[in-house]
Chains A and B, each alone.
Chain A
């Protein structure tokens, strides 16, 4: 029978479906569990004690908790590219065929080599990152590899994740986080007013603590009551129920991020669904009903498999029908944990003793436990666990009243389970995300959310209210208030608080660490943060070394830095630091919790914004032609631009040389549709442009174009382009392809914020036009055939003119402008005519050998002419003077154009600024890598005096040599000097400083 293979499974009880056995594999061995199990429950049912190995000391570790707090039982779910690394087994739902493996321990968690040798931990004292491994620096990368492999938190598969993720935006009036008693009551109350409610809970089943509750509610078992309550909710149409959904981040203005695990529990059957969905929720009000996490007590060897939280023991019994042991010793500071003794007893297992740290433990729960004949040791503590791979005993001793010292003889109790409870910590992480500082509540010895702003409230155990009746009442009040604050009237709704027969509880003892007969540094290790192996002695050592701030201690010892964010260990760590500093816990303070609450797969954050959907791609009207003609593409901003058009068997270098020579000797054609185009109109358009550009624009006549240079207010070059006067009060400004959006926003800003009085209108026209540049000595011959209504003679259509007419039979604007120094016409037609224009030009140019060319050839051609590319040759710290472009600065303009005043600042007038020059390598075939540094003396000792750097560098087929553009200190005064570029590979390239114009310095060709 299945149960015989599950030795720890109780014969009855739990919310599992025993008629649906499920087979699963853990670390290569096959096991059976039931539908409704978590992987942790199924492993416990099968008696698997050791799930992994610890981070530093490689000690065997087992399951401690039952939810998000689990520090030890991290496993990898699945195999291959869609495996999920490092999930807590307590949060994995069992399905048929589940495959999981331990992420720690080598070769296996039970026989871990490093743990067996025991040598690793001694290398790793607290603060080991800072102490041991910072010296010698060169060895750090080796240490790091060693630590990562030794620690092991799963492996990310090198293949792309085939999983399917998506995102949804949600809006609601009230978001209730947590579907336990407080959360359910809050949702019911909020919905009664008509508010739209979302309720999210990280577990597979809604109900929170009610899933394992043994008290009667309204005279019925809790499970029955829960079922009715959920049925009522399910029929509502203003409620979105999100089980298996973790609220992992709480951002500004009630913007919360939720991760829904939609198909993990379906195994391979779920592959066709979006496996994980990110909900981006904007909520008018948020009710935090996130509950509380039990706090373990710190004692020697408290990390041994078989040491668990009392609440988790009850959870496994009541929810899963699993008793994780035979003989239990329970150690507690409070009444609540006595419920677990009753559960264990009811399960037919032996409670060896309840060890209560309080001398005067009393109250109804204590009495009921004693009535069952269970031994209660008052004023005692478990001071040490015995056993290695599994607890086999507990050392128990009387302690003094404040729990700081052992006060009597030690004895050993035989047991295989130690359940411990040091009280409860409200889950305040999400309120902490918003910057709310936690407040110490003396009564519960824990932090609760402090002063929350409008928009958020907390209820139930999250607010430090433990009793079930209290949680119901507080939740209902919080839900009603939230709906009212969101603008709904809940006047008529009087929440009916269910009657609960629960035992009143007496005051707990504020005790975090149990004493030992030896001092902490000599006692067996007492673990505070199990995931990162932080011990009480380690915290004391850090404190002795001067780490008195909790924030420093956290970084030094790694307390709470694990994937579990110290959900179990943080408060204990703070308490131990407080004690060693002679302070209270609130004086010591707490660290700040940051998102995410639990780890989130990167795929869920990316969603479908990957591959082609990562960023929009922009194509010109001629794109398909380029594709069809073998173009290689280059990304320029979001645009795909033809880079070069390789012929059969042609290398990039050969193709670019061919394209360049075609332009210089015959005719080339380039798609320049991507240049930014801004249409500027209005009576003050000229004045506006005149203020933006460095040079004069007031007198630009219709039919004329002018180059313009744009500075930021700090005097540094921002963008450039040609602006045409289209008519009275009408201009078309072009920008660089990559700068178009920024320039448009820049113009809008000046107009809207500084000069609203200027009567001017701006509109982006980039996508409205398709533009083909026909460039080279035969350009006129080609365009004349294609265009109509334009006189192309040199006398009537001069360089820097533009004309209206037709091209390929459609309306066109033709600009005679040049970025290559050749005779050049840029023909603009409505975008949808773009390909038609292009193909007509190709046909017309066939007799002249018209050659399409891409951005690489364009770069070479413009570099031969010394034309700058803003953003390549400039870098946001170059003035017009630096670029030898004083000619474009209109000092005499009446208006102090943007950037003018800054050009007169002392720093901009320094005579040792770097200046824009050309470089010719002494070996004509050697091309200097772009970005190379320039020095005057290559034999100088390192660090050398850096004299400048290379901004553009190409092989020029026209000049049959390599050319480069560079910024060199005082470069314009150093014509003919030899400088050197020392490269990382050891080569040194020598070059001569020249002017930046290599070809046709008089500019005769473009005027031909």
Chain B
């Protein structure tokens, strides 16, 4: 069970308080109707299957009810950072020690 530091509450809490929200940093296209079916399909359905540092959204469902971002190493489950919506990650597969 992951130990997650909510960037809004500022406390590390057990995974049971949170729910997973999928890959982060996928912005909704500003003008969906101008997109081809293929481009819209990419936005809608296609996600990375990262071996290494994955940026993802979590929801502090049984806490402050805020969504936030997490950089998690999918190999060893290490949580490298959590950061607020709108922020950018410091860790990537390239710059982490792995």
Query: A-side interface residues toward B, CB under 8 Å?
Result: 251-255, 282, 435, 453, 713-714, 745, 748-749, 752-754, 756, 896, 900-902, 904-906
B85 engages A252 (CB within 8 Å): no
B3 engages A748 (CB within 8 Å): no
A255 engages B67 (CB within 8 Å): no
Note all chain B residues with C-beta closer than 8 A to A906. Answer: 37
B67 engages A749 (CB within 8 Å): yes
How many Å lie between the Cα of A680 and that of B24 in the bound state? 26
Note all chain A residues with C-beta closer than 8 A to B41. Answer: 905
**Could you give 11 example pairs across A and B, Cβ below 8 Å?**
A252-B15, A253-B1, A282-B14, A745-B61, A749-B21, A752-B66, A753-B57, A754-B27, A900-B33, A904-B33, A905-B40
Q: Which residue of A lies closest to B28 (CB)?
A: A754
How many Å lie between the Cα of A435 and that of B44 in the bound state? 33
B32 engages A896 (CB within 8 Å): yes
How many Å lie between the Cα of A251 and that of B1 in the bound state? 6
A255 engages B3 (CB within 8 Å): yes
How many Å lie between the Cα of A247 and that of B28 in the bound state? 46
Min CB distance, B39 to chain A, in Å? Answer: 10
Note all chain B residues with C-beta closer than 8 A to A253. Answer: 1-3, 77, 79
Min CB distance, A231 to chain B, in Å? Answer: 35
Q: Which residue of B lies closest to A436 (CB)?
A: B76
A753 engages B85 (CB within 8 Å): yes
B2 engages A901 (CB within 8 Å): no
A252 engages B33 (CB within 8 Å): no
Q: Which 8 A-B pairs have the closest CB atoms?
A: A901-B32, A253-B3, A255-B1, A252-B77, A896-B32, A752-B67, A252-B2, A251-B1
Does B9 belong to the interface (CB within 8 Å)?
no
Of A252, A713, A752, A902, the contact of B1 (CB 8 Å cutoff): A252
* Total CB contacts across the A-B interface at under 8 A: 58
Min CB distance, A166 to chain B, in Å? Answer: 17
Min CB distance, A257 to chain B, in Å? Answer: 9
Note all chain B residues with C-beta closer than 8 A to A714. Answer: 44
How many Å lie between the Cα of A947 and that of B21 in the bound state? 36
How many Å lie between the Cα of A435 and that of B3 in the bound state? 17
Does B59 belong to the interface (CB within 8 Å)?
yes
Does B31 belong to the interface (CB within 8 Å)?
yes
Known: A282-B3, A749-B67, A754-B28. A905 touches B61 (CB 8 A): no
Note all chain A residues with C-beta closer than 8 A to B65. Answer: 748
Note all chain A residues with C-beta closer than 8 A to B31. Answer: 896
Does B86 belong to the interface (CB within 8 Å)?
yes
A901 engages B76 (CB within 8 Å): no
Note all chain B residues with C-beta closer than 8 A to A748. Answer: 59, 65, 67
How many Å lie between the Cα of A745 and that of B58 in the bound state? 12
Note all chain B residues with C-beta closer than 8 A to A754. Answer: 27-28
How many Å lie between the Cα of A123 and that of B66 in the bound state? 60
Task: Give 8 new A-B contacts, CB below 8 A, not counting A453-B78, A745-B59, A745-B61.
Answer: A252-B2, A252-B15, A254-B3, A753-B67, A896-B31, A900-B33, A901-B32, A902-B44
How many Å lie between the Cα of A565 and that of B85 in the bound state? 45
Min CB distance, B55 to chain A, in Å? Answer: 13
Note all chain A residues with C-beta closer than 8 A to B40. Answer: 901-902, 905
How many Å lie between the Cα of A767 and that of B15 in the bound state? 27
Min CB distance, A823 to chain B, in Å? Answer: 39
How many Å lie between the Cα of A896 and that of B35 in the bound state? 12
Per-position binary interface string of chain B over residues 66-96, scored 1 when its CB falls under 8 Å from any chain A CB and 0 otherwise: 1100000000111100000110000000000
Min CB distance, A955 to chain B, in Å? Answer: 41
Min CB distance, B88 to chain A, in Å? Answer: 14
Known: A253-B1, A902-B40, A902-B44. A756 touches B77 (CB 8 A): no
How many Å lie between the Cα of A905 and that of B37 in the bound state? 6
Min CB distance, B53 to chain A, in Å? Answer: 16
Per-position binary interface string of chain B over residues 1-39, scored 1 when its CB falls under 8 Å from any chain A CB and 0 otherwise: 111000000000011000101000001100111010100
Note all chain B residues with C-beta closer than 8 A to A251. Answer: 1
How many Å lie between the Cα of A745 and that of B62 in the bound state? 11
B61 engages A900 (CB within 8 Å): no
Note all chain B residues with C-beta closer than 8 A to A753. Answer: 57, 67, 85
Note all chain B residues with C-beta closer than 8 A to A435. Answer: 76
Note all chain B residues with C-beta closer than 8 A to A282. Answer: 3, 14
A713 engages B44 (CB within 8 Å): yes
Q: Which residue of A lies closest to B59 (CB)?
A: A745
How many Å lie between the Cα of A455 and that of B94 in the bound state? 24
A752 engages B35 (CB within 8 Å): no
Note all chain B residues with C-beta closer than 8 A to A254. Answer: 3
Q: Which residue of B lies closest to A762 (CB)?
A: B65
A453 engages B32 (CB within 8 Å): no
Q: Which residue of B lies closest to A712 (CB)?
A: B44
A901 engages B35 (CB within 8 Å): yes
How many Å lie between the Cα of A104 and that of B94 in the bound state? 56
Note all chain A residues with C-beta closer than 8 A to B44. Answer: 713-714, 902
B32 engages A900 (CB within 8 Å): yes
Note all chain B residues with C-beta closer than 8 A to A901. Answer: 32-33, 35, 40
How many Å lie between the Cα of A753 and that of B37 in the bound state? 24
Note all chain B residues with C-beta closer than 8 A to A904. Answer: 33
Note all chain A residues with C-beta closer than 8 A to B57. Answer: 753
Note all chain A residues with C-beta closer than 8 A to B14. Answer: 255, 282
Note all chain B residues with C-beta closer than 8 A to A255. Answer: 1, 3, 14
How many Å lie between the Cα of A748 and that of B1 in the bound state? 25
How many Å lie between the Cα of A253 and that of B1 in the bound state? 7
Min CB distance, B73 to chain A, in Å? Answer: 10
How many Å lie between the Cα of A745 and that of B22 in the bound state? 14
A453 engages B33 (CB within 8 Å): no
Min CB distance, B62 to chain A, in Å? Answer: 11
Q: Which residue of A lies closest to B31 (CB)?
A: A896
Min CB distance, A615 to chain B, in Å? Answer: 15
Q: Which residue of A lies closest to B57 (CB)?
A: A753
How many Å lie between the Cα of A713 and that of B22 in the bound state? 14
How many Å lie between the Cα of A883 and that of B21 in the bound state? 29
Min CB distance, B92 to chain A, in Å? Answer: 20
A896 engages B2 (CB within 8 Å): no
Min CB distance, A899 to chain B, in Å? Answer: 10
How many Å lie between the Cα of A905 and that of B35 in the bound state? 11
How many Å lie between the Cα of A906 and that of B40 in the bound state? 12
How many Å lie between the Cα of A435 and that of B67 in the bound state? 29
Q: Which residue of B lies closest to A750 (CB)?
A: B28
Note all chain B residues with C-beta closer than 8 A to A745. Answer: 19, 59, 61
How many Å lie between the Cα of A748 and that of B15 in the bound state? 20
How many Å lie between the Cα of A453 and that of B73 in the bound state? 13
How many Å lie between the Cα of A754 and that of B86 in the bound state? 9
Min CB distance, B63 to chain A, in Å? Answer: 13
How many Å lie between the Cα of A900 and that of B31 in the bound state? 11
Min CB distance, B14 to chain A, in Å? Answer: 7
How many Å lie between the Cα of A435 and that of B74 in the bound state? 12
Min CB distance, B16 to chain A, in Å? Answer: 10
Q: Which residue of A lies closest to B41 (CB)?
A: A905
Q: Which residue of A lies closest to B24 (CB)?
A: A753
Note all chain B residues with C-beta closer than 8 A to A902. Answer: 40, 44
Min CB distance, B68 to chain A, in Å? Answer: 9
Note all chain A residues with C-beta closer than 8 A to B21. Answer: 749
Interface centre among A253, A714, A753, A896 (most CB of B within 10 A): A753
B3 engages A752 (CB within 8 Å): no
Note all chain B residues with C-beta closer than 8 A to A905. Answer: 37, 40-41
Min CB distance, A741 to chain B, in Å? Answer: 9
Min CB distance, A545 to chain B, in Å? Answer: 33
A749 engages B32 (CB within 8 Å): no
Q: Which residue of B lies closest to A754 (CB)?
A: B28
How many Å lie between the Cα of A151 and that of B17 in the bound state? 43
B35 engages A756 (CB within 8 Å): no
How many Å lie between the Cα of A1002 and that of B75 in the bound state? 61
Min CB distance, A868 to chain B, in Å? Answer: 24
A749 engages B59 (CB within 8 Å): yes
How many Å lie between the Cα of A252 and that of B78 in the bound state? 8
Min CB distance, A887 to chain B, in Å? Answer: 21
How many Å lie between the Cα of A214 and that of B32 in the bound state? 78
Interface centre among A251, A754, A756, A901 (most CB of B within 10 A): A901
Min CB distance, A79 to chain B, in Å? Answer: 37
How many Å lie between the Cα of A940 and that of B57 in the bound state? 50
